Amino acid sequence: MQEGSKVLVIHRNKEAEMDFVNKIRNLHTNFAVNSNYNYFFLRAKEALKNNWFFLFLIR
């Protein structure tokens, strides 16, 4: 990444990234189903079922 006249090298912490992704994946059972993709999504019906979305916001 270029920052002015300097180049900034950012080293990834893949272990920390995987921990973060796994924490997200464990928030809802339907996230695990889509584990081959680089994103997470829930249909509105699933997010609202049993007030999951509102409970998620509290966490």
pLDDT averaged per 10 residues in sequence order, the chain, 59 residues: 82 93 83 70 81 73
Q: What is the spatial distance between Cα 59 and Cα 53, in angstroms, rounded to a whole number?
A: 10
Predicted local distance difference test score (pLDDT) of residue 36: 67
Task: Please name the helix (run of DSSP H) or strand (run of DSSP E) that holds residue 6, with its range, or none.
Answer: strand 6-7
- Token reading at 14: 């893949």
On whether the pTM is more than 0.75, the answer is no
- Token reading at 5: 């006249």
Q: What is the spatial distance between Cα 12 and Cα 31, in angstroms, rounded to a whole number?
A: 24
Bridge partners of residue 7, in order along the sequence? 2
Predicted local distance difference test score (pLDDT) of residue 43: 80
